[in-house]
Amino acid sequence: MSPGPTPTPSDEPEPVPAAPAPPTPSPDSIYTADEIRAELVRLRTTPAGGVAANPALLFVASLALFVMSVGRDATTSVAALVAVIFLHETGHYLGMRAFGYRNVRMFFIPFFGGGASGMKETAPAWQEAVVLLLGPVPGLVVGLVLAASGAAHQEPWVYDLAFTLVVLNAFNLLPLFPLDGGRLFEVLLLARRPAATAVFRLLAVAGLGLIAWDAGSWVLGVLAGLMLLGTPLASSQAGAAVGFRAAYPDAADTPEGLRDDQLADLVRRAQYQGQTKPRPLAQLAMWVRDVHAQATTDRAAGSTVAFFVGIYLIAWVTALAGVVNLVVLPAGPDEGEPPAVRAE
């Protein structure tokens, strides 16, 4: 029996391609690495929805709500307060725009004051410091100029404006988180220092609580309570950032650019240990983003710290000079009492 024809290469069966490996799940997470990456990209690239999608509408709507929340005060005091908050937040806003922050918004917060928000991963410490100081410093300078002029003791509305500029911006310079002064010291001195961050936040809670009790301000009391609730998470994230940077000193600049094993490790570290239930994907992605930003941002150099602490001290001298001109020198135009102001 003669053998059959030898198969040619074209007669051989083609190899079946191997099935693609399933996406790598992240430890301690019900989401895959690909799902977390997609959510991280969405957070970075998708504009806010609703009213927040329109910066002008957000500003006007929040301004109206804020004015209604403080409407029981005198008209001149409300106008001065709105003007001072607007100048303060405009400084933050322009600083963020100048340094390339994304999704920059400026808005008022009923009862509390105002805010400016923006996003920039791994912003250098010096840029963050500039953005923080651009809020209170211009207002203090304008307030000092008005206080030193004769108009502050001749026109009630000028006195109201000068006093509010000095007091509100000086209050924001207090080294208590989340005020600008407190955030400045966290940026300059407390990056990736979990124990120091926790102590600093708890001292801020105590300080705000004492001020709230002395001033009878429920607004500051609420702020102190929120700070107390957020302190464990802040300390946990700082500790996670320390561990991740030690493990991966050359990690990618963006969390979605990490390798699967690095992203899985970052997710594990970012999980808040005080909770055991699965987190919503958006919340988990925000925590991963925040821990990654802390881990990959360099601490402020000694010269940077010295420079901005010097600016901070000069700002306080400016604030004290304004208070002396307004309170210690000739009294206000009416009863000799400084107008009441609401903390931002």
- What is the Cα–Cα distance from 312 to 301, expressed in whole angstroms? 17
The pLDDT of residue 304 is 93
The pLDDT of residue 341 is 44
How confident is the model over 131-142, as a mean pLDDT? 94
Averaged confidence pLDDT in the chain: 80
> Is it the case that residue 138 has pLDDT exceeding 80?
yes
The pLDDT of residue 297 is 87
The pLDDT of residue 152 is 66
Residue 21: which pLDDT band, with cuts at 50, 70 and 90? Answer: very low
Interhelix angle for 302-323 vs 156-172, to 10°?
A: 150
How confident is the model over 96-105, as a mean pLDDT? 91
How confident is the model over 103-131, as a mean pLDDT? 87
Q: What would the pLDDT profile of 286-309 be if each residue is shown by its tens digit?
A: 888 889 988 888 888 999 999 999
Evaluate whether residue 69 is within a structural domain: yes
pTM recorded for the entire structure: 0.79
The pLDDT of residue 171 is 92
Evaluate whether residue 127 is within a structural domain: yes
The answer for residues whose C-beta is within 8 angstroms of residue 100's C-beta and 6 or more apart is 120
How confident is the model over 263-282, as a mean pLDDT? 74
> Is it the case that residue 210 has pLDDT exceeding 90?
yes
The pLDDT of residue 54 is 65
Evaluate whether residue 161 is within a structural domain: yes
The pLDDT of residue 117 is 87
| Cβ neighbour number for residue 210 with a 10 Å cutoff | 12
The pLDDT of residue 50 is 55
Evaluate whether residue 242 is within a structural domain: no
Residue 17: which pLDDT band, with cuts at 50, 70 and 90? Answer: very low
Evaluate whether residue 154 is within a structural domain: yes
Evaluate whether residue 117 is within a structural domain: yes
Q: What would the pLDDT profile of 23-77 be if each residue is shown by its tens digit?
A: 444 445 578 888 888 988 888 877 665 555 566 777 777 767 777 767 655 556 7
> Is it the case that residue 103 has pLDDT exceeding 90?
no
The pLDDT of residue 147 is 82
Total domains present in the chain? 1
The pLDDT of residue 43 is 83
Evaluate whether residue 330 is within a structural domain: yes
Q: Pinpoint the alpha helices (H) of the chain.
A: 33-45, 55-69, 75-98, 125-133, 136-148, 156-172, 180-189, 194-215, 218-247, 260-270, 281-296, 302-323
C-beta separation of 147 from 166 below 8 A: yes
Structure tokens at 280: 């919503």
The pLDDT of residue 23 is 44
Evaluate whether residue 155 is within a structural domain: yes
> Is it the case that residue 266 has pLDDT exceeding 70?
yes
| Cβ neighbour number for residue 303 with a 10 Å cutoff | 9
State which residues form the domain around 322: 53-171+313-344
